[in-house]
Amino acid sequence: MLAVGRAIRRIHTTVDAPRLTRFALHPPKSVEVGFADGSIFNLSAEFLRVHSPAVDSKIRSIGGEKVISGRRHVGIMSAEPVGNYGVRIVFDDLHKTGIYSWDYFYELGSNKFTFMRNYIKTLKKHGLTRDPRRRK
């Protein structure tokens, strides 16, 4: 985590998002990010997992929509710095290919409620749920 802290101090993001000032990993449940404009966002593991910037085999495409279901209880195992622009989050469902840029964290945080509302609507539309499947 010290490497992430050092990376934060060197980061200056694009004009679209303020400079990142804080990154705190609270495994297994959330990540907290703070920005120079005073914005602080607490982003849950489920929220980050379903909004992963990576494409992987656990995503279902239904009618052209990206749909990830059953991730209510997913956890964060670790976060690894990637260059000077973001982190790779490793989830306990073994998803680890998404690189979250500082700008993307700002976008997610700024639009968290809209993104989550749309996610839940999409799940309902396709008869899916946030809860994982029960094993038989």
φ and ψ of 18, to 5 deg: -65, 165
Structure confidence by residue, pLDDT tens digits, 70-126: 899 999 999 999 998 999 999 999 888 889 999 999 999 999 999 999 999 999 999
**Bridge partner list, 89:** 79
Q: Cα separation of 86 and 3, whole Å?
A: 11
Six-digit token pair at 23?
């990154």
Structure confidence by residue, pLDDT tens digits, 41-79: 999 999 999 999 986 545 566 666 678 888 999 999 999
Alpha-carbon separation of residue 26 from 13, 75, 78, 103, 130 (angstroms): 23, 10, 9, 20, 21
Q: Cα separation of 83 and 7, whole Å?
A: 8
